Chains A and B, each alone.
Chain A
């Protein structure tokens, strides 16, 4: 279908095509430029971080900032990455394990409170960050879970779980019922059908949902700042911000850390953004 649509574009005059390409190149440059600047700053030697130079690769480029981030034990980069990985992986896994069965119930059953439940899941998206963070913060104080990864994971669960249920429900809705009915005829129970028919079919949706929860937790700063106050527990967003504070806008190491952290996330994101978007709209449109 897309192919035939493109044929229409062949009617564009060559001037129009040139203009379109020009506009897109300018837009790409605008999208890319700040990113390139971070790489530039990360390559500067520490003496010339406050440089007025605009060239993209500084003439005196060095990897010193990367070296100090990666190997200087005072910086603690690997601790931050380890902490972030632990929090994000647990958040993503727990959210997925809890969300998948609930999403299946929302997709296939007509239980009491189904419609209000779905609307409530949607309404959680309207909460300003402080709406839940403030009470959660007080709960964590009382449970002495401040400065504790489980406390942070609990906070992230309040974001990741409703969203995961919503996305997975939208996906399960697209799987035809016939498949389960065939499984019933073969003597499977509804629970068996869920585990042996639906879950294996949903592997892409499940991994996208997990990835989404992972990325939410991975880059989160505002909640982590409130829950984790001990340096040793810092996740990378907290760590990189102190990096800036401690050396007073020492942009070299900060930029190096930013580049190192962004590369894997950006690659993951670019590979999966298509599926993520279809998941988002699926959930929203079907609602």
Chain B
């Protein structure tokens, strides 16, 4: 029930269902009369969204078909040229694109899997009567509460080969020092560790909320039927968590896929482009190398990849739910 529904006379509601025979102008006027307030309330936000989201969104597609760069954008002599799909051809014919795409998928998968696994584990452990539960929860949420910039800088400091505490601890137990930020492989491990540390609290808190909404009677009934702990987890906890987990995983995937802060601030994509993911690659192309048209095309590609992933994911989980 909402205002619109209550305000509509019954015969109008029915006629809507069967297609209204009255002329468009009459129907339009009635629609406007009924929803005038809605449109009035929407106008301010709509204007700002047009200016800051919709117009730039369209402009990005437009920009993607030009060779705009730092030298021709405000130059009196040179004009940006229309290049059609030239930027897209360049992106897809560059072998580096596939390397970076592969690394981005690896980065997203490693991070999201670890976030969900650790988040689920900690949430299940916390979801019981513990004396220090409040304290544990507060401390475990801490990584989420600290501004990302500070998190990135903090970990960069800890990964310092000579003075960082991670290597100092490794050496004190007799292991060799690891060249964290100078070797591409270890640099990638380092940014993954940072981002995993950062993202666990979000999943933990979301899952904890989901666990608390499961009625204990289900577990009691399962125990009477002799279900093992694993069976209870598999057949009660997981299905009940799904409505909470699906949006959380989608959000987590999108955020991780698009997470510019951590990698840009710790390694800037280096060393030797070894920690470059799609968003850092495109950010550097735009604001460190000033290739605006190319970067816009690249952004469009990233956006489409994400959109396709999310559509598939939603369909897949819907399908699983129906089974």
Interchain Cβ contacts within 8 Å, total number: 291
Kindly identify which residue among A135, A226, A277 contacts B63, using a CB–CB cutoff of 8 Å: A135
By a CB distance below 8 angstroms, the chain A residues around B48 are: 98, 157, 161
Residue B148, interface by CB 8 Å: yes
Residue A246, interface by CB 8 Å: no
Residue B51, interface by CB 8 Å: yes
By a CB distance below 8 angstroms, the chain A residues around B15 are: none
CA distance A190 to B34 in the complex (A): 11
Given A180-B3, A222-B283: A34 in contact with B155 (beta carbons within 8 A):
yes
By a CB distance below 8 angstroms, the chain A residues around B26 are: none
Residue A38, interface by CB 8 Å: yes
CB pair B209–A109 under 8 Å, yes or no, is: no
CB pair A130–B299 under 8 Å, yes or no, is: yes
Measured CB to CB, the closest approach of chain A to B176, in angstroms, equals 16
Kindly identify which residue among A37, A99, A129, A254 contacts B279, using a CB–CB cutoff of 8 Å: A129
Residue B85, interface by CB 8 Å: no
Residue A80, interface by CB 8 Å: no
CA distance A219 to B260 in the complex (A): 13
Residue B128, interface by CB 8 Å: yes
Kindly identify which residue among A102, A136, A190 contacts B3, using a CB–CB cutoff of 8 Å: A190
Measured CB to CB, the closest approach of chain B to A80, in angstroms, equals 12
Residue A182, interface by CB 8 Å: no
Residue B109, interface by CB 8 Å: no
Residue B316, interface by CB 8 Å: no
Q: With a 10 A CB-CB cut-off, give which of A51, A190, A277 has the most chain B CB atoms.
A: A277
Interface-facing stretch out of B86-94, B95-103, B183-191, B211-219: B211-219
CB pair A5–B216 under 8 Å, yes or no, is: yes
Q: What string of 1s and 0s marks CB contacts (under 8 Å) between A1-33 and chain B? A: 110111111101000010011011001101110
Measured CB to CB, the closest approach of chain B to A205, in angstroms, equals 16
By a CB distance below 8 angstroms, the chain B residues around A17 are: 130
Can you sample 26 A-B contacts with CB below 8 Å? Answer: A24-B130, A35-B146, A37-B158, A38-B157, A50-B162, A98-B45, A108-B3, A126-B307, A128-B258, A130-B286, A130-B296, A131-B299, A134-B60, A134-B296, A138-B59, A141-B74, A157-B52, A177-B1, A180-B3, A240-B153, A249-B157, A258-B150, A269-B145, A273-B145, A273-B205, A281-B248
A133-B286, A161-B52, A221-B148 provided; 16 other pairs, C-beta below 8 A?
A: A8-B220, A17-B130, A31-B197, A34-B154, A35-B142, A38-B157, A54-B168, A105-B38, A108-B3, A109-B38, A110-B35, A128-B299, A131-B57, A136-B56, A255-B157, A277-B209
Q: Which residues of A contact B (CB under 8 A)?
A: 1-2, 4-10, 12, 17, 20-21, 23-24, 27-28, 30-32, 34-35, 37-38, 41, 50-52, 54, 97-99, 101-102, 104-105, 107-112, 123-136, 138-139, 141, 154-155, 157-158, 161-162, 165, 177, 180-181, 190-191, 194, 218-219, 221-222, 225-226, 237, 240-241, 244, 249, 251, 254-255, 258, 261-262, 265-266, 269-270, 273-274, 277-278, 280-281, 284-285, 287
Q: Which residues of B contact A (CB under 8 A)?
A: 1-6, 31, 35, 37-39, 41-42, 44-46, 48-49, 51-53, 55-57, 59-60, 63, 73-74, 122, 125-130, 132, 135-136, 138-151, 153-155, 157-158, 162-163, 165, 168-169, 172, 197, 201, 205-206, 209, 212, 214-216, 219-220, 243-244, 247-248, 250-251, 254, 258, 260-261, 264-265, 278-279, 282-283, 286-287, 292, 295-296, 298-300, 302-303, 306-307, 310
